[in-house]
Amino acid sequence: MKNLHDKNKVPLAIIVAAIIIAASILLSRRPPWASLSPDNENRQTSWQSPSKRINFTQAPENIGKVVCVTGKVDHVYTSDKGTVFINFCPDYKTCPFGAVIFDSSVSKFPNPQQYTGKNVEITGFITAYQGRAEIVLDSPDQIKIE
């Protein structure tokens, strides 16, 4: 029995090492919209050079791309958990696009309500969430009042 146990140690160790290496590779990948580390401050992040500028109604056709989305903000909503939603339509459920600031980044945005009623440019990587296009904002540089 001991001999069988000793024979299985090496393959098991190889499998465990492969899982650890694969997990570290996956976790080290940065999404295109993530800002660079402080030691690379002088380099541009990918959201600072969008491939094109579009109206918010065109966002669903541009999922998976880094773009500059323009439009007039209808309202800004802050959830009980502190997440901020920037909405371009009165009913966010039927709106083709929205932007979100998670509570972990809200402190970087001193007054999100200032965008209400303003024409803005939001730059970033468009993802799909619950059937609509959105950009996650983690830097105030991603949103500008026109």
Query: What's the CATH number where 90 sits?
Result: 2.40.50.140
Give the per-residue pLDDT at 42: 36
Q: Are residues 55 and 8 in the same domain?
A: no
What is the tens place of the pLDDT at every residue in 74-120? 999 999 999 999 999 999 999 999 999 999 999 999 899 999 999 99
Q: Which pLDDT value is given to residue 36?
A: 36
Q: How far apart are CA 77 and CA 112, in angstroms?
A: 9
Q: What's the CA gap between 33 and 81, in Å, rounded?
A: 23
At 41 the pLDDT is 39
What pLDDT, on the 0 to 100 scale, is given for residue 80?
95
Is the pLDDT at 26 greater than 60? The verdict is no
How many CB atoms within 10 Å of residue 96? 18
Total number of domains constituting the chain: 2
Q: What is the mean predicted confidence (pLDDT) over 6-29? A: 64
DSSP bridge pairs for 86: 76, 99
Give the pLDDT band of residue 15 (cuts 50, 70, 90).
Answer: confident
97 and 123 belong to one structural domain? yes
Q: State the residue for tokens 């024409």.
A: 119
Percent of the chain whose predicted confidence (pLDDT) is above 90 = 62
Strands 143-145 and 75-78: unpaired
Q: Indicate whether 39 belongs to any domain.
A: no
Write the DSSP string, 79-119: -TTS-EEEESSSSGGG-SEEEEE-TTTGGG-S-GGGGTT-E
On whether both 80 and 131 belong to a single domain, the answer is: yes
pLDDT band at 14, cuts 50/70/90? confident
For residue 95, is it within any domain?
yes
pLDDT of residue 48: 55
pLDDT of residue 24: 57
Q: Please say whether the beta carbons of 132 and 60 come within 8 A.
A: yes
108 lies in which domain range?
46-145
**Assigned token pair, 22:** 């694969």
pLDDT (tens digit per residue) in 38-51: 333 333 444 555 66
Residue 59 · residue 133 · CB < 8 Å: yes
What number is the average pLDDT over the span 22-36?
A: 49
